[in-house]
Structure 1
């Protein structure tokens, strides 16, 4: 029997939640991402536990065990049990009663196989008992071992249940799939045949999936497949992924916002981005299209300026010059030596602002070589002229 040996499984706080259930005769099975990632030796952030105990029972059992129970999604069977300050999502086995392409009406179950059947991909339908022994109701372990992202059962059925799964397929492939073996052909065909279902999804859900996809180590192959199946244009009309692959190569540390900027502009409404993410994506794309390395470094700071220069190189299909990065980093440390008071009262109002802007531009163009005295002399010449 396959057994997981991750440190988090043996953690006292986590085992306390399992004992809370098993001591009462209920099942306690780790499920989903924590099992998948433990097998792949990837970081595990969230602990999900499936059980045949009803959510109201979970609350009572937690209180008896001296643990904190938070009914975060009790109507859907989920109770967050906090043990030693660590949250554990405990969810009752479920089966789908009705689906509409966006959400499901569920009924509680006592059968782990029913719970597994309602999930999306075979690699997410793996369970493990408190000892780490893997339980595989649907035969998904070989897929996980092969890093093969495959829908449970018929791909079209899973997609009709929730059209977000079309986007999740690409996201999961970017994070967990084997790029050398390509994508599941049945999944791609089903996704291409059900593009119209993407229109019923909320922009927030789409944005969440897209940004998580773009945060993968290399999302370019998955995004290329999204373009080929028609998904990319369906959710981001006008998007162009030509620069995404080069950007990943030139700037591996690029975050999701920079990678989104590589796809185009004006996607904040389509994805319902936060104002901060929307502004940063727009600023990076604008900077990549104009401005010298010195100006970008001075105005944006070293991190964003270097990111914008990497994006520029990717968009132009050109090398990223180390000399440009050094100029930007140096520029980020510079402080303009002239203040408004230095030009008053000779300049006031709009004329003062214009003079400061002209002097700043000349200072940047000089490679920050012009001194305060040089700049004040230029201002004096400007006044006389």
Structure 2
């Protein structure tokens, strides 16, 4: 029997949360991504707990123990216990009694097995008790150890329960799968067969899921499978992976918006419900990657990160090596300060003419790669005018 020995499990707060439930006569296990990530040696950000206790029982037990309880998802059986400022999400065992491809009607369950079989992938249905003993009702541990993303039981059934699982299948492979092993053929076929189901999902959910995929260190294999299966075209008509593959060869940073610019596609902002900030960055990168604006100018006008992303996107798009000295160009542009102020120009230049004059002088300065003094700029401009 495999056991875990992890600091988060032996921590006093975790042990107290678990023992508070088990001492009251209920089952309590750390579950899902927490167990998965520890087995993989990946970071753990949240501790999720699954229990046989009903939400009202969980609340009463913890309040009696002097532990704060917040009803964060009471309709779905979830409350959050807060101990010394640390949150623990606690969810009652559940089973689905009705699904429509977007959401499920759940019923509380008394068994770990029923709770496990309503989950998506085998690697996400692992449980661990306070002693570190792992419970594996669906055979997920072997899949996890070989880094193989597999649906629980029938993939078609799992996908029809929630069509977002199509995107989660690719996202989980991007983050946790073994590219040498490849994607599960049965799962991939099911995703292709049910691609129409993506149309009924909220675009906020779709966008959030896809950006998580694009944030993975190396999502290329998952993206390629999405393209070949028709999922990518359904998600973003006109999108393609060629430039993303080239970005990977250039060892670009895993910036999801940069990768989104490389993928292309129609109506991306609307289809993924991007935020205003994300949209502004995407639009800027799309323009910059196809423009002739110098690296220095991009860095000066938009900052070093945008200029750096544009350098990588241009090289990937045109399949060329990164330009020599590009880092120095980004540094020059991002640290340059325009030396001329409105007060430096004659008082006779005012209103719109003043703005035009400053822009013209600034462009001369940029064209000279910032290597012109204020006096030279003013002398040249006033002499020309």
Match in the other structure for 2:275: 274
Q: Is the 8 A contact 1:301 1:329 kept in 2?
A: no
Q: Is the 8 A contact 1:14 1:83 kept in 2?
A: no
Match in the other structure for 1:11: 11
Q: Is the 8 A contact 2:55 2:78 kept in 1?
A: yes
Aligned pairs for 1:74-89 within 5 A: 74-89=74-89
Match in the other structure for 1:60: 60
For 1:220 and 1:341, locate their aligned partners in 2 and report how far apart those are by CA, in whole Å: 53
For 2:145 and 2:297, locate their aligned partners in 1 and report how far apart those are by CA, in whole Å: 49
Q: Which 5+ residue runs of structure 1 have no aligned equivalent?
A: none
Match in the other structure for 1:356: 358
Match in the other structure for 1:105: 105
Encode CA deviations 1:21-47: one digit per residue, 9 max, x unaligned: 001010111110000001001001111
Q: Which 5+ residue runs of structure 2 have no aligned equivalent?
A: none
Q: Is the 8 A contact 1:96 1:104 kept in 2?
A: yes
Distance 1:161 1:187, change over 3 A: same
1:274 deviation in Å? 1.1
Q: Is 2:264 the partner of 1:264?
A: yes
For 2:148 and 2:288, locate their aligned partners in 1 and report how far apart those are by CA, in whole Å: 39
Distance 1:263 1:83, change over 3 A: same
Tell me the TM-score normalised to structure 1 length. 0.97
Helix, strand or coil at the partner of 1:188: helix
Q: Is the 8 A contact 1:123 1:141 kept in 2?
A: yes
Aligned pairs for 1:227-376 within 5 A: 227-264=227-264, 266-290=267-291, 291-376=293-378
Aligned pairs for 1:12-161 within 5 A: 12-161=12-161
Q: Is the 8 A contact 1:293 1:325 kept in 2?
A: no
1:262 deviation in Å? 1.4
1:366 deviation in Å? 0.8
Helix, strand or coil at the partner of 2:325: helix
1:240 deviation in Å? 2.1
Encode CA deviations 1:248-282: one digit per residue, 9 max, x unaligned: 33244232121112112641111111111111121
For 2:22 and 2:80, locate their aligned partners in 1 and report how far apart those are by CA, in whole Å: 17
Match in the other structure for 1:379: 381
Number of paired residues? 383
Tell me the TM-score normalised to structure 2 length. 0.97
